[in-house]
């Protein structure tokens, strides 16, 4: 019988190179899809963080802005009779101003300070709270009581704990235009870059039943008569809590009357603007 000859044949060098190139192309394509998916996820998270901070800030501040004014019915509060409902430096005593309890313009790099003054009324079974959730002022705590004038002050400053600008607030008790106590300043929301405000002032005071006729929006230092302010515009710039996947380019934002804010980084930011009606009408 004739022996059977079997020849084993392997891959040629060219075939191995083709397989290697195809494998590299497939691996590269999969890697690009994963990288793109991760970038999209990081971008989405960053945008969501900035949006959520903005929504929370607008909602939180509205709870205090809408209790300002002479005809307010929100949160069991009425306007003070001896203080402007949005406290201004030129309307209060020196001690009031020295404590920083006043609406003011253009704090370096972070915008305006907004002070909202109201007289609180206690509800049975509930404590009176300022914007920090404090039930009183000073140490030891002196509880807030009915007819106390409380000024809730909002501003943006750098927070060393989070390592970024944040919205702060602080509550003050005021008697006869003098600060008599205050709660500790607290961070309300991390990731707020700046806040600006314009006040809607009418040329004439309005009687109950008439619609406000705001003739101009001006910064705090240009308000002629706080009793004729019937609206407030707020602009808020928020950011993500971490770097994103944006290209590093200059990005600029204009907040109402601000000179503008320019950043060169990969952080996601969102700009919010809203207007609040102030029921500051004589009965």
- State the SS3 of 180-249: EEECCCEEEEECEEEEEEEEEEECCCCECCCCCCEEEEECHHHCCCHHHEEEEEEEEEEECCCCCCCCCE
Residue 140 within any structural domain of the chain = yes
Per-residue pLDDT tens over the stretch 135-176: 988 777 889 998 888 888 899 999 999 999 999 998 888 887
| pLDDT score of 89 more than 60 | no
What is the average per-residue pLDDT within 100-106?
69
Tokens 């970038």 map to which residue?
39
Counting residues of the chain whose pLDDT is more than 90, the rounded percentage is 21
Res 211: pLDDT: 67
1 confidence band (pLDDT: 50, 70, 90): low
Res 79: pLDDT: 39
CB 214 within 8 A of CB 200: yes
Beta strands 192-202 and 229-239 are antiparallel
Q: Which domain holds residue 140?
A: 42-277
Least confident of 6-10, 51-55, 124-128, 274-278: 6-10
CB 226 within 8 A of CB 85: yes
Residue 24 within any structural domain of the chain = no
Least confident of 75-79, 175-179, 189-193: 75-79
Residue 178 within any structural domain of the chain = yes
Per-residue pLDDT tens over the stretch 215-248: 889 888 888 877 788 888 999 999 988 776 566 7
265 confidence band (pLDDT: 50, 70, 90): confident
| Residue of 171 and 18 predicted with greater confidence | 171
Res 202: pLDDT: 85
17 confidence band (pLDDT: 50, 70, 90): confident
Distance of CA 168 to the CA centre of its chain: 9
State both tokens at 170.
């602080």
What is the average per-residue pLDDT within 203-226?
76
Count of CB atoms situated within 10 Å of the CB of 211: 8
**Which pTM value belongs to this model?**
0.76
| pLDDT score of 81 more than 50 | no
| Residue of 228 and 198 predicted with greater confidence | 198
Domain tally, the chain: 1
State both tokens at 264.
């060169």
Q: How far apart are CA 133 and CA 170, in angstroms?
A: 10
Chain-wide mean pLDDT for the chain? Answer: 77
Res 41: pLDDT: 59
Q: Which of 180, 173, 78 is nearest to 132 (CA)?
A: 173
| pLDDT score of 204 more than 80 | no
Residue 15 within any structural domain of the chain = no
Per-residue pLDDT tens over the stretch 64-77: 887 765 544 333 34
What is the average per-residue pLDDT within 252-263?
90
| Residue of 52 and 101 predicted with greater confidence | 52
Residue 28 within any structural domain of the chain = no
Beta strands 136-137 and 186-190 are unpaired
Residue 5 within any structural domain of the chain = no
Residue 10 within any structural domain of the chain = no
């Amino acid at each position: 019988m004739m022996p059977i000859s079997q020849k084993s044949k392997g891959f040629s060098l060219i075939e191995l190179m083709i397989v290697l190139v195809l494998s590299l192309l497939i691996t590269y394509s999969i890697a690009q899809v994963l990288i793109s998916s991760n970038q999209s996820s990081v971008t989405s998270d960053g945008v969501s963080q900035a949006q959520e901070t903005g929504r929370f800030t607008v909602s939180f501040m509205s709870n205090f802005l809408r209790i300002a004014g002479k005809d307010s019915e929100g949160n069991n509060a009425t306007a003070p009779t001896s203080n402007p409902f949005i406290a201004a430096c030129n309307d209060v005593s020196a001690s009031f101003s020295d404590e920083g309890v006043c609406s003011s313009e253009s704090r370096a790099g972070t915008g305006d300070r907004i002070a909202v003054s109201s007289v609180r009324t206690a509800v049975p079974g509930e404590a009176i709270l300022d914007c920090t959730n404090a039930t009183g002022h000073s140490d030891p705590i002196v509880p807030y009581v009915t007819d106390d004038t409380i000024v809730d002050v909002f501003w943006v400053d750098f927070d060393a704990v989070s390592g970024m600008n944040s919205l702060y607030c602080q509550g003050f008790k005021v008697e006869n235009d003098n600060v008599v106590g205050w709660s500790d300043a607290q961070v309300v929301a991390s990731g707020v870059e700046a806040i600006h405000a314009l006040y809607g002032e009418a040329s004439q005071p309005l009687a109950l039943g008439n619609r406000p006729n705001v003739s101009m929006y001006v910064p705090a230092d240009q308000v002629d008569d706080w009793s004729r302010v019937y609206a407030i515009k707020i602009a808020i710039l928020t950011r993500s809590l971490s770097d994103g996947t944006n290209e590093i380019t200059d990005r600029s934002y204009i907040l109402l009357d601000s000179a503008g804010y320019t950043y060169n980084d990969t952080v996601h930011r969102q700009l919010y603007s809203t207007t609040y009606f102030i029921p500051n009408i004589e009965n």
